[in-house]
Structure 1
Amino acid sequence: MDINFYKYQGTGNDFIMIDGRSFSLGSDPIPYIQQLCHRKFGIGADGLILIKAHADYDFEMCYYNADGSQSMCGNGARCAVAFSSFLGIIDRTTSFLAIDGPHTAEISGNSVALRMGDVKEIEYIGKDFFANTGSPHHMRFVNEIESFDVVGTGRAIRNDSEKYPEGTNVNFISAISADTIMVRTYERGVEDETLSCGTGVTACALVYGEIEQKNKINIQTPGGNLQVSFNKIEDGNFQEIVLTGPAEQVFSGTISVNVPSDAV
């Protein structure tokens, strides 16, 4: 079967986008997602997103990591919003559903401001930190982040089965100024460093905002710049979290795959 797809990227985090309103990859899509996301034998991407119709929202975002696992993806969600606008499903604002619940977003040019879910108190793990921003994130401050072994150290933490039985994403942070940080991320499901991670930079911004008593943090990643704003309420929870950054269509095409018999 021929599949029409679009390739999007948000600060270097790249995704295969498919209009899933009248198409599916069947009851077991994982082998096909792995094939499509493979950078040597497929289109190549950090993840794949299906846009589906939903009775109560503008659309539903079904996000898959490159290995076929599912999670929330901040940059993927911003790209999903841009793609839905391209398809004519939405205009400048939207309310949509993701794996972690409902989200709202607003488009301005090629920038998408995404309202993230509320986050409970940040957990302290020795000198490190942990937060769940729709996906789990371990965070560590490091020096000389440009030369730091993100893959080796990140993989070891991600695979610490005693601490993280289901694995975790791992972020490394370096302070640049009182309101700006540099972040590099090892992503679970991609099993490598990615150029950017939306849920990851959100978690890092909350941690750094706590330290510096700021409610808006600028984040530099290898793939580009993002911004996170938020409010912290008295019980320690974080609300009104907004992740803002670019989301751009790179190219479109058609690929032929052998899809399962129950696919539409």
Structure 2
Amino acid sequence: MGLSILGVRDVYVSRVNLGSGTVKTAHGVLPVPAPATLQLLKRAPVYSSGVDFELTTPTGAALISGLAVDYCSMPDMQVSEIGIGAGSKNFKNSPNILRMFVGDGAEHQAPTALLRKAKQWGDVGADVTVIETNIDDMNPLVYEYVIDLLFKGGALDVFLTPLIMKKSRPAVKLSVICSDDKKDELIKTILKETTSIGVRFYKVQRKILQREIKAVKTKYGKIKVKVARDGNDILKSSPEYEDCKKAAKKYKVPLLDVMESIVSIDRADNRKRNA
């Protein structure tokens, strides 16, 4: 309700400081972050500044995971309102405060954010860096771990492509798309965590449709749907897989049934808008 009153459509969140140490709960003494906090913040970029205190609670994690459309550094915006909240505990080397900015996004959002505000898809774009390396001698089980690290390090996308190299050796090309300011750290991660001994990188331009996340009410509960637009025209939409998977498990129905029900609702909504 508060976001609605403020007229906030999208919420962007910076890296989440979890704190460290232990916390007393109804279930006993637990490590920080608490299991519920960590579960809620899967795939979110998190860190600990070393403060011996629980800086993110399960309630806070639930709000973040439920509201955030993207995790990024501060997007380009014209700030109109600033909110500051202070905790009751004083820390020696850092302020115990939380800040929130409300504003209007610039025509071009920061490259690490979902690019949403441009009027035409041709205006939506940003230079990004592509990092690549060919790997032919690494245990395939390692890729999942490396991909998670790269996403946590700020990669916009990570993907694998099968290759045939010299002497007909099968290999995999690891590709990472990122903003230029993340390039050096991501290269360090690749060289440290894989068997690669070198990478290549280059800048590319891209064009992206406007994107937004909306919640659709279904008989399986609210499911997030990603919508891609060209101006006011909706070109495509797709339900969020994780939401559909949770609903399928909760209601013990096939995953395809959940996904199809959302697609049907979305098509009906589109027909109403175009009528």
TM-score by length of 2: 0.26
Name which one, 1 or 2, has greater alpha-carbon Rg. 2
Give the helix-richer structure, 1 or 2.
Answer: 2
- Answer 1 or 2: which has greater strand percent: 1
